[in-house]
Amino acid sequence: MHNLAQLSDEQLVEYIIKENQELFSEIVLRYQEKLFRYANFLSKDRDKAADIVQNSFIKAFINLKSFKTEMKFSTWIYRIVHNEAINEIKKNKKEIEIPEGLDIRGEGDMELDFDRQEMIKKVRSCLEEIPILYSEPLSLYFLEEKSYNEIADILRLSLGTVGTRINRAKIFMKKICQTKK
């Protein structure tokens, strides 16, 4: 019997597929809170978020044999949650629109001058007001601590687009947070 805590997600998945399906509970335990936070951010509704996460786990289990263990499991399951959440949002006809007067042209290097911790606090308070197109990569980067590569895989975007959207999201953040003050 393996010590589950020592197994990486990918090793655990292999073990679940080959030996014991019931160990999927360990995957659920490892990811349910993170995924719930992410789904809640996307759907802005806790009940819906719980449904999204539950459906995502079920889909992940059904399609577990399509997961390539050389990939990162977290990227794969975040992608499933992203798809589920976007379908849910579309179903509820919540439009992904840029608020008037907030559109940003140009992609210049606009680094913000506050440090990461301060940024996280501001991210949490302002994120909900930013169009989801930009806030999602920013949330994955700051709140879920995913790398640009992982975000690119989750959202199926090029690295350049991820960088651009995160930069734009920072500019939105600056505008919105400054207005709040």
Partner 1 sequence: MSNKEIDLKEKIMERIKSGEIKMKPRWYFVFGSLASVAGLVSLLVVTIFLFNFAIFSLRTNGYMRGYKYNQIIASFPWWALVLAVLGVLLGVTLLKKYDFSYKKNFLTIVFGLITSLLVASLLIDFLGVNDVFVRKGMMKKMYKRYDGRCGAMMIKNEAGSKMRANTMRVLKDQFILEIS
Binding site for partner 1 (CB under 8 A): 17, 21-22, 24-25, 28-29, 32-33, 36-37, 40, 46, 50, 53-54, 57-58, 61-66, 152-153, 156-159
Indicate left, alpha or beta for 108 from its phi (over 0: left) and psi (-120 to 50: alpha). beta
Distance of closest approach, residue 89 Cβ to partner 1, in angstroms: 20
Distance of closest approach, residue 179 Cβ to partner 1, in angstroms: 28
Q: Which residue number, 20 or 110, has a Cβ lying nearer to partner 1?
A: 20
CA dist., res. 127 & res. 125, Å (int) = 6
Distance of closest approach, residue 161 Cβ to partner 1, in angstroms: 8
Are the CB atoms for 86 and 66 separated by under 8 Å?
no
Distance of closest approach, residue 21 Cβ to partner 1, in angstroms: 6
Q: Which two tokens stand for residue 161?
A: 């687009």
> Which among 57, 85, 88, 84 has a CA at the least distance from the CA of 73?
57
Are the CB atoms for 132 and 42 separated by under 8 Å?
yes
Q: Which residue number, 112 or 157, has a Cβ lying nearer to partner 1?
A: 157
Q: Which two tokens stand for residue 70?
A: 């050389």
Q: Which residue number, 161 or 171, has a Cβ lying nearer to partner 1?
A: 161
**Tokens 């806790």 appear where?**
46
DSSP 70: T
Q: Which residue number, 15 or 36, has a Cβ lying nearer to partner 1?
A: 36
